[in-house]
Structure 1
Amino acid sequence: GEDGRDGFGNEGPKGRKGDEGFPGFSGPKGVAGEPGTRGGPGPKGNQGQRGVSGSSGSLGQKGEDGYPGPHGAKGPRGPGVVQCDLVKKIRDNCPCCFGKLECPLYPTELAFALDISRGLNRAAFNKMRNAVVRLVKDITIAESNCPRGARVALTLYNNEVITEIRFSDAMKKRALIERIEGLQIPQSNKPRSLDTAMSFVAQNTFKRVRSGFLMRKVAIFFVGDQVGQGQAISNAALRLHDAGIATLFLVNQPDRTLSSAVQVNSTTLADVIVLPSAETEYSSVIQKVMNCHVCLDVCSPDQTCDYTPTSASRDKRSFTSDIDIDIAFLIDSSETTYPSFFTSIKHYIAHIVEHLYISSNPTSSVHHARVSVVQHAPYAYIQNKTGSPIHVDIGLTEQHSAQDLVKFIQEKTHQLEGGRALASAIESTVEQVFEKAPLPRDRKVLMLFVTGSVEEEKEKLVRIATEIKCRGYFLVIFAVGQTLSAGDAHVLSLMASEPSDVFFKQLDTVSVFYNKHIQAFGQLLPKYISIDNAFYMSPEMSKSCQWFQNDQPMKHALNPSKQQETYQKHHASHQTVHQMKHNDELHVSSITSHSLKLGWSDADPKLSVYFEIMVDSF
């Protein structure tokens, strides 16, 4: 066929990219560009190898002394001079101390109290007055405040007290004797109250006396007839003994009530001497009064003396009391307790512990003493009212000897530096320390050391103190420091056990802790507590109590038909005791939060008797 005519057809598809050609020749060198910005620092390189140490340099010059450091805590007071050793040394080296000795040997404050109560005639009074004159004639009378000889005071008493001569009168001997010889028995029909006279002499007659290392205080009471109310006399004798006053009772006939009232277990608070009617015997008795009381040489007593007043001197350091007792020391660790206060309180507690026979098996033995040390109140409790208001440094069953206790108190008991919560602390100590300890003792003592104001909580504190005293606890209170007002002292005295002037002590400065009477009080406190019927309550206090004292056997009449009011504390732990009347006497003892024991007061066997006892709670 014929060829078609030439022409262009439709555009075909795009072909693939061809192979890369050979590189061309290099072009000419371009113009130099501008410099760039400086780069940042590079990463730190690896540490190089340690170089070789150089040789030691020469010794430099001594530097200047630094500033002195702060003072450490004050240490305990040393043993000091033993009184009788000092007296003996003076007598052995003094050329004037030979020959006839002066009477009294030591400066003495001598007080007489004459009975003028109902039933005494003029002859009986004249006999007492003549005995005083006879005693005064044979002694050296101090006519000033010079620490030598005796100053004399004289009072008359029935159920009231009349002061005839005061210590401050400082009368000359002749004038003093004439004044005594001129005394006449006043007309009176008032009954005898010996305990009133004893308390007056302790609190008023001896209120202002001379001070001195060897000063003696002696009180002589003339008693015209038999006395009653042995418990009141025991408390008054305790006041005199606590004040360091040697007491003598001169009676016309033996008085068993008086003799037993001044006897505290193995400690005699006062001496009782019967004045005979025969002249020969009378003279020998008066001479015995002179040798063994008025002119007593405490460092070398006369061999005829069968009674020597207890000395409050440092000579009694080795004395130890073996008493079954639980005692807790509750320390105020608030901001008012300065470090010096806290240190002195610890030393005083250690002083008390050193004179206790501590139980070696506090968890299994019912005998000997157990001690606890508690502080109040932790910071968390003060700020948030959380946790316990007390910090127990030592529990009743944690230590087994006095040495361990003293070491722990001195070295490991540090001030809490919290706040004050006294009311809550008392309750918590009773709950958490006393009531949780196994085998509780019959005698339980809570000793408080208070350094700050408590007047604002008066009502609550007095109520709580009354509650625990009604449950058988002894409250001993020390008010320490000058920040406490008269109102604070009044509140604390109401809280303390009775007699409050014995069991409440106010110490203006910590140095008073080392006063010989305060030291003697701590040493003899267990004996004060162990006195028969020591748990004394005034009628006013007894009305406030609705049950017997806790763990303190006492005789009370019981009536199965009459149930007494029951009491429960605001917290879970409570104790209930019921008082009933019955012809045969029972006593209540071993009271716990869930049980009590009833027993016959007489050991003789009795017929079986059934009592139904109901314990209510509300």
Structure 2
Amino acid sequence: METKFRSCWDGKPKCPLYPTELVFALDISRTLTPETFELMRKIIIEIVSEARIRESNCPVGARVAVVSYNSVTHHLIHFSELQNKNKLLHTLKNISYQRSSSERDTGGAMRFITRNVFKRTLQGPNVRKIAVVFSHGPATDASSVKQAVLEMSAAKVTPVVIALGNTPHISQAFLMDDSGLFEVLNVRDGQYNEALQRFRLCTLCYDICKPDAFCERPRRSLPRTYVDAAFILDSSQEMSGAEFEQVKDFMSKAITAFNISSDPKTSVVGDRIAVVSHALPGFKAGTGKRPVKKEFDFVTYSSKDRIRRHIEESLQQLNGEAAVGYAMQWTISNIFSAAPNPRPLKVIIIISAGKTSQWDKGMLKKISMQAKCQGYALFAISLGKSYDRNELEELASTPLEQHLVQLGRIHKPELDYVMRFLKPFIRFLRSEKNNYPPEELRAKCISLFLHS
């Protein structure tokens, strides 16, 4: 192992310092001019010319891929195609300008890069994934950009948008990333030297151990909008004991997304957390039994450490039949409605290990719609291969891509992905006016309340 490491590393610091997967996305939407295209290509060539490009299987330097996008995204150069710097530069110089009549979906391009281009890339704790996205105008869909930020944050992709025009949706969405690495670099009148310098120092050549003072920038403080968040945990026999322990570990980490109130009973300041487990043995609809085990409510704990201690030491698997709908109904009636000083934002985070019981499906459909209409944000995490897609779509708030995360297995890397998705999701909640229920649901909600 030591000999192999030495053969790959010659002792000279070069840029990038870490193994890097570097993607460029060219904006070829309707308003593209030959001059703008030439500027984008010039910037890419300059970045590649001065970077260390990986030319062997040794994991040093950068591999490069290139896509173009308008309303759809297309591969131009794959990572595996060109492992020679001269050939790569020659190919870049020969990418030709093409006219387009399609609009610009910057968020869609960013999501394509995250889901497809970075799907099969070098893995490892020190590998960096960087997406350089050119944009010469506003993104057409703010929701698509928001979704891209959630997915890139979760997948540990660092996006840098080189803006050749105004990009308000992107600048606003990037403020929700808590790493401080997402950045919009403005290029005006073809003057890109300052933007390029910042990209090199603060992204491509960035050394987390020795950060350059030039890269420090003020972080916008979030609005003081506080959250009441209830975790509803599937504690059924669908999970093995080892899987249940991993989910407990995830929940302990998830607490870091919140600013826990030091006085949850009497103060209106700070977030509050509650946890209930469902799948109690012997519970069935109509038996009169409580459908959940209340672990703790909003006023029980006043610190993250106490919440973590309860999750780690007292939370036990119940091994009964799943009853998500009845658990939600009980939580709304007994946790949210009973708490003093309710917070402006109400979030229910449902952790599901499979389908709910057949006798619970009707209640789940009814209560999830009622909760949405009452202004709750429903965030669903689906674990494992056993699930009902229609059930999940009924359960989660819309847009689904921002409120539903499906994992094929219960495994630490996947749960870490959810953790990195959840943090900016909560930041988005704080920063926006309350969009729950969403506009498209409001007519249905009025009808629901008139007939209830």
Aligned to 1:106: 18
1:321, 1:356 within 8 Å by CA — same for their partners in 2? Answer: no
Aligned to 2:342: 440
Relative to 1, partners in 2 of residues 1:219 and 1:157: Cα closer, same or farther, differing over 3 Å?
same
- Match for 2:130: what amino acid? V
- Match for 1:532: what amino acid? E
1:292, 1:307 within 8 Å by CA — same for their partners in 2? Answer: no
Counterpart among 344, 347, 358 of residue 260 in structure 2: 358
Aligned to 1:465: 368
- Match for 2:309: what amino acid? K
Relative to 1, partners in 2 of residues 1:496 and 1:136: Cα closer, same or farther, differing over 3 Å?
farther
Could you tell which deviates more after superposition, 203-212 or 381-390?
Answer: 381-390
Which aligned pairs between 1:167-566 and structure 2 lie closer than 5 A?
167-264=79-176, 270-277=182-189, 282-306=192-216, 324-354=226-256, 356-382=258-284, 385-454=287-356, 461=364, 464-481=367-384, 484-485=385-386, 488=388, 491-492=391-392, 495-498=395-398, 500-512=400-412, 516-521=416-421, 525-533=425-433, 535=435, 542-546=439-443, 565-566=446-447
**C-alpha separation between the residues in 2 aligned to 1:198 and 1:416?**
41
Which aligned pairs between 1:587-602 and structure 2 lie closer than 5 A?
none
Task: Structure 2 unaligned segments of length 5 or more: list them.
Answer: none
The C-alpha deviation readout for 1:548-584, integer Å capped at 9, x for no partner, is 8xxxxxxxxxxxxxxxx4423xxxxxxxxxxxxxxxx
How far off is 1:218 after superposition?
0.8
Instruction: Tell which structure's C-alpha radius of gyration is larger.
Output: 1
How far off is 1:351 after superposition?
1.9
Relative to 1, partners in 2 of residues 1:242 and 1:466: Cα closer, same or farther, differing over 3 Å?
farther
Could you tell which deviates more after superposition, 445-454 or 517-526?
Answer: 517-526
- Match for 1:273: what amino acid? L
**C-alpha separation between the residues in 2 aligned to 1:162 and 1:404?**
50
How far off is 1:259 after superposition?
2.1
**C-alpha separation between the residues in 2 aligned to 1:213 and 1:250?**
27
Relative to 1, partners in 2 of residues 1:282 and 1:265: Cα closer, same or farther, differing over 3 Å?
closer
**C-alpha separation between the residues in 2 aligned to 1:145 and 1:518?**
31
**C-alpha separation between the residues in 1 aligned to 2:201 and 2:161?**
15
How far off is 1:376 after superposition?
1.0
The C-alpha deviation readout for 1:273-329, integer Å capped at 9, x for no partner, is 112436xx53343232122122221222222224599xxxxxxxxxx9986111111
The C-alpha deviation readout for 1:14-40, integer Å capped at 9, x for no partner, is xxxxxxxxxxxxxxxxxxxxxxxxxxx
How far off is 1:335 after superposition?
1.5
2:377, 2:397 within 8 Å by CA — same for their partners in 1? Answer: yes
Percent identity, please. Answer: 29
Aligned to 2:71: 159
RMSD: 3.4
2:61 is the alignment partner of 1:149: yes
How far off is 1:383 after superposition?
8.0
Could you tell which deviates more after superposition, 153-162 or 232-241?
Answer: 232-241
TM-score, scaled to structure 1: 0.64
**C-alpha separation between the residues in 2 aligned to 1:127 and 1:471?**
50
2:137, 2:166 within 8 Å by CA — same for their partners in 1? Answer: no
Higher relative contact order, structure no. (Cα contacts within 8 Å, ≥ 6 residues apart) = 2
Aligned to 1:595: none
Aligned to 1:312: none
Aligned to 1:135, the other structure's residue is in SS state: helix
TM-score, scaled to structure 2: 0.86
Relative to 1, partners in 2 of residues 1:517 and 1:282: Cα closer, same or farther, differing over 3 Å?
same
The C-alpha deviation readout for 1:456-477, integer Å capped at 9, x for no partner, is 6778645643442343222222
Aligned to 1:37: none
Relative to 1, partners in 2 of residues 1:285 and 1:404: Cα closer, same or farther, differing over 3 Å?
closer
User: Which of the pair is proportionally richer in helix?
Assistant: 2
**C-alpha separation between the residues in 2 aligned to 1:261 and 1:452?**
33
- Match for 1:135: what amino acid? I
The C-alpha deviation readout for 1:150-179, integer Å capped at 9, x for no partner, is 121211111121221222435422222222
Relative to 1, partners in 2 of residues 1:510 and 1:276: Cα closer, same or farther, differing over 3 Å?
same
The number of equivalent residue pairs is 445
